[in-house]
Amino acid sequence: MKNIWSLLCRKALIDSQTNTISLIDSFEEIEIGIDPSAKGKNVNVVVDFELVSYWIKDKNDTKNYLGSVEVTDPNNKILGSFPFSLDFANSNRLRARLQFSSMIVTVQGEYIFHVKYKSEDEGKFTKATEIPLLVKVVETINNLKSNK
């Protein structure tokens, strides 16, 4: 079992006739607008993106696998864990897509998406890869005050 690649992108499109995938707007950095009053708090920011991974396994491997993505902030605080299926069905390769509609932001800095896997008969996940995401926080002003 092996993770060949994983990345973050705005959208992944799969052509049903050719089974090819188009990864739209891959990124390693995002800029988030947060109200200054929320500084130091967990802020759930609306942002649509996908984590896409390509996996292979040996043809003789008959095990069933599970995947998980754990997201940590720059202080190594776990913000969430997202399980997913690694169903190889009748193939020795697959693509896994996790779709996100929001992300918890605590502070500015590097967030890590820890991609892991395990067979159904194992208790502990094995690290496959880590995807860093640099989050830049920009303060937004929701209540504009007049200087009159």
Q: Is residue 87 part of a domain?
A: yes
**pLDDT tens per residue, range 52-78:** 999 999 988 888 899 999 999 999 999
- 18-47: b (≥16 Cβ within 10 Å) or e: eeeeeeeeeeeebebebeeeeeeeebeeee
Q: Which two tokens stand for residue 29?
A: 């950095």
pLDDT above 80: residue 114: yes
Q: Is residue 145 in some structural domain? A: no
Domain annotation covers residue 147? no
At residue 74, φ and ψ (nearest 5 deg) are -60, -20
Q: Which residue range is the domain that position 128 belongs to?
A: 2-139
Q: Total domain count for the chain? A: 1
Q: Which two tokens stand for residue 26?
A: 């891959």
Q: Any idea what the CATH number is for the domain that residue 71 is in?
A: 2.60.40.1930
Q: What percent of the chain has pLDDT over 70?
A: 95
pLDDT given for residue 147 in this prediction: 43
Read off the pLDDT band of 144 (50, 70, 90): very low
Is residue 85's pLDDT more than 80?
Answer: yes
The pLDDT tens digits of the residues spanning 40-56 come to: 789 999 999 999 999 99
CA 73 – CA 107 distance, rounded (Å): 8
Residue 32 counted as domain residue? yes
Domain presence at residue 6: yes
Residue 125 lies inside a defined structural domain of this protein: yes
Domain membership of residue 129 (yes or no) is yes
Least-confidence region, from 43-57, 68-82, 95-109, 129-143: 129-143
Please state, in angstroms and rounded to a whole number, the distance separating the CA atoms of residues 97 and 45: 20
- Nearest Cα neighbor of 78 from 121, 46, 116, 48 is 116
Is 148 within the bounds of a domain?
no
pTM exceeds 0.85 for this model:
yes
Pairing of strands 2-14, 21-26: antiparallel
